[in-house]
Amino acid sequence: MTTTLRIAVLVSTARHPVSGQPVRSSSDAAAFELACGLAPPGRLTVLSAGMTGKEHLEEYLGLGVEAIEVLTVAATADVLPALLARVKGFDLVLCGMRSDGQSASGMLPYLLAEGLGVPLVGDVLEATANHRTLTVRQFLPKGMRRRLEVSLPAVLAVHPRAPQTRQYAYARARAGRVTYVAGALGGGPAAPAWQFEPATRRPRPLKAKVVQSGHSRMMGAIGGDAGARGGQVVKQGSAEQKAQILLDYLREHRLIDF
């Protein structure tokens, strides 16, 4: 483990899926814990961008963050220019894959790496430092894992399933500090406004209900019974004739009532 690296950790507030109250992001909390394995918490630079109050960041302070620097930008402004200006020159930047319940496009790690001109490793579970290189373990689907070596400087996007063992402590939350610094203004277009609304059920697909025996379903699956497929392919005839066949099918299965 080395303590000479300049490491920045980006954190953001999330919304509880039921109450809507601000909580810590699981990915960002995992990024902070991974950073604590590379350097002591007191040597980490923890950053947040936007109009965020201390009460929204209190859960990170309770995990052991000694100080959080908030880059204040306008509510409609893009936070990327402010973050790029602040983390320039750092050896390692850690963040979550995406914020939870916010403008969670998942593009921030990629835009940061592109703006800094450094490599990006996504879905990181673990990382160990050896001078100017990192050995990381990456999450892959279906339980697969992969080890990579990346040269510093770099950006690591941490997966939510990365180990999280640090516990919240009220005394640490009260002792932590939040400072506010004016963020750099970007010359690009303003970030789009995000609108929150309750989630709705996905529409159910329109599907005909066909009652068949087990033997008929098996024959239809293996293609041995053409009549058990419940449909037909119409290639001949005029457009009116094809439309009539479609209407007859919908009426037969009571999908329409006219």
Domain assignment present for 191:
no
- Residue 230: the pLDDT is 53
Residue 237 and residue 168 in one domain:
no
Residue 84's CB is within 10 A of a number of other CB atoms, namely: 16
Residue 174 and residue 218 in one domain:
no
Residue 165 — pLDDT band, cuts 50, 70, 90? confident
Q: Is the pTM of this model over 0.85?
A: no
Residue 220 and residue 176 in one domain:
no
Domain assignment present for 1:
no
pLDDT over 90 for what percent of the chain?
26
Q: What confidence tens digit (pLDDT) does each residue in 171-183 have?
A: 988 888 888 888 7
Residue 218 and residue 173 in one domain:
no
Residue 42 and residue 87 in one domain:
yes
Domain assignment present for 189:
no
- Residue 106: the pLDDT is 78
- Residue 2: the pLDDT is 44
Supply 249's token pair.
């099918």
- Bigger pLDDT: 135 vs 217: 135
Residue 31 and residue 152 in one domain:
yes
Q: What number is the average pLDDT over the span 131-147?
A: 89
- Residue 127: the pLDDT is 92
- Residue 75: the pLDDT is 67
Domain assignment present for 194:
no
Domain assignment present for 203:
no
Q: CATH number, domain at 172?
A: 3.40.50.620
Residue 245 and residue 157 in one domain:
no
Most confident among 7-11, 241-245, 247-251 (mean pLDDT):
7-11
- Dihedral (C-alpha) 59, 63, 69, 70: value to the nearest 10 degrees? -20
What is the residue range of 219's domain? 214-252
Of 45, 65, 52, 49, residue with least CA distance to 15:
52
Residue 61 and residue 122 in one domain:
yes
Q: What confidence tens digit (pLDDT) does each residue in 221-230 have?
A: 665 545 445 5
Supply 193's token pair.
């406004």
Say yes or no to pLDDT of 149 above 60.
yes
Supply 89's token pair.
């020159």
Domain assignment present for 89:
yes
Domain assignment present for 170:
yes
Residue 176 and residue 220 in one domain:
no
Number of domains composing the chain: 2
Residue 153 and residue 236 in one domain:
no
Contact 5, 91 (CB under 8 A): yes
Of 46, 60, 47, 41, residue with least CA distance to 3:
41
Residue 143 and residue 83 in one domain:
yes
Residue 248 and residue 162 in one domain:
no
Domain assignment present for 51:
yes
Contact 113, 120 (CB under 8 A): yes
Of 21, 73, 32, residue with least CA distance to 176:
32
